[in-house]
Chain A
Amino acid sequence: MKKLVVAMVLLSLASLLIAGGARSESPTTPSGPSDRNGGVLVFARSGDSVSLDPGRETDGESFYPATAIFDTLVEFKPGTTEVQPALAESWDVSADGLTYTFNLRSGVTFHDGTPFNADAVKFTFERMFIETHPAAAFGPYKYWGYMDMSNIVESIDVVSGLQVRFNLKKPEAPFVANLAMDFAAIVSPTAVIAKGADFAFEPIGTGPFKFVQWIKDDNIIVEKNTNYWRRPAYLDRIIFKVIPDATARYLALQKGEVDIIDFPSIQDLADMQTRSGIKLINQEGLNVGYLAFNNDREPFGNKLVRQALNYAVNKQEIIDAVYGQAGTAAKNPIPPGMWSYNDDVEDYPYDPAQARALLAEAGYPNGFTTTIWAMPVVRPYNPNGRKVAEILQANFAAVGVQAEIVSYEWGTYLDKTDTGEHDMALLGWTGDNGDPDNFLNVLLSIPAATPPAGNIAFWRNEEFNDLIQQAKEEPDQARRTALYEEAQVIFKEEAPWITLAHSLVYSAMRDEVMDFVLYPTGKRVFYDVWLNE
């Protein structure tokens, strides 16, 4: 009996070693793409798509499968907000910045055999804003409105079979980034006309995967498009499976029923990090949470006061107490995943002595009394406004500034901060197109400081404003980057906000899932994903 036990222990140890050995060797990357395994990937997510016509929808869940089925004229480089050519091989911008001519890729066909050309591009976009368009009735095309495209695009002309021209109402460089968003996916005109409203449930695009089946609230299946215009995807099929409960998703992953899970529960993250066979990735979301100083109210018009309060805050304490693993400290008004993010900017360190010195210099040696407005809702960029406000209150009190916490119902809160009734207010922003203009112009420009204001710091800095207006009209990406980097330096020095945090988005998967990356814009892209088994 004893011998048997010993033998069994040895045997299991040996098998552990063998298994362990195999594991450590397994991540050898196959030399060429041809070696990469396809297979079926199950992606578990929290909700079903509303429809699969990305022009119609606004929610991420609708876009996930649509991103696989459709292509856009330009696209985000994997894991970034930088734009690269896709269905458009290149584009020319006129000197006045008012016309964008896209040179389209030739030989591309939709999954139904319809050729991709300038007419398809014109059709796709015109349905969103020309009311007499034959497909206008299948809308409403909400995101077109969200991005204010009707005030940007004047008209669209077919120059030739593979050349299409957008005539703009005003110079608008971020316009190109808008075209990388899901709502700008190019649809098959013949399929839209033939299927009518049903197109949204049987979508036809040019993308790396073709639509196969949708069982409502259960799963959506897409399969590899072997006729893709670039290297075909590695995966043979993707199953987008709805598992609403985060813990149930994780249990399904542990059991190997699914390969990737979206939005894991924050409570499970620690377990995921240590569990063998499972890996965890994260990405800063396209958002920022901040405390804005109302520059129209005393004493916040004084730069020294704003800087002093920046020194007074122990940001790490806020991250640890409120965000946990769901956020990282912010130093710039744009998130780190965004191009032109200026990593050379240094944040104000936690230094109460320096804060007191600056307050004294500003004429407030004994501090002052004021209010902190706390948002009443949970947002990714600020999961608990009240608690953040309480920590800020304690930090400010330590340097002599007595702040009372104020809060309103969310709608009222937004109305009142829009018109500047606050002293200091917590708020945040979630971006759409990955362009810095979508943050800096909306939140900090001079035009945005007029009620209803996006700039609730009511901070009007000519120098900063000139830089971002110049960048908005400048088509050259390198020059835009330089302008935005400089703007961020001014922002930090002038300190109209205390930048608090960016949320972190997580995804967990089996070790065998390779090359799945999260995008700052929230896209889920499977084109490069393969299974190492």
Chain B
Amino acid sequence: MQDTDGTTTRTAVLVSLGSAAPAEALRADVEQLRDRGYRVHLVSRVAPVPTLAEVLDGRTAVGRPTGGTLQVSKLKLDPHRLPGAAVVVLGGTAGPLVRQADVLVAVDATALPAVWLAARVNRRALAVNGLPAAVSRLT
């Protein structure tokens, strides 16, 4: 991704589709990614806790905060399975972000299908299960 001043910024997109708010425990790893020059964006169902939100570069809400299936036309889709995952990470505002990301990270188990699918669409991105593994791979 190219900034307005011509510099290239790398982007890490974290995906969380679980029912718990992304926690402060992720903060240290987010800060490490930022220290390495990454913009860190969260795509999540539930808003992160404030102490995590303050170190993120942005957050995109997807799915329903209370959980459950998504109504798409006459279909009910589960975002934890592939068809629903496609809607939440490739559709709406999350789509362009995911397609341009350099790193895609599933920060909880429910996000694994979504991030796997995103990696099929954005083949140049590193796609990782777990933020610690992403941090260690980028060092």
| B and A form one assembly | no
Interface residues of B (CB under 8 A from A): none
* A→B interface (CB under 8 Å): none
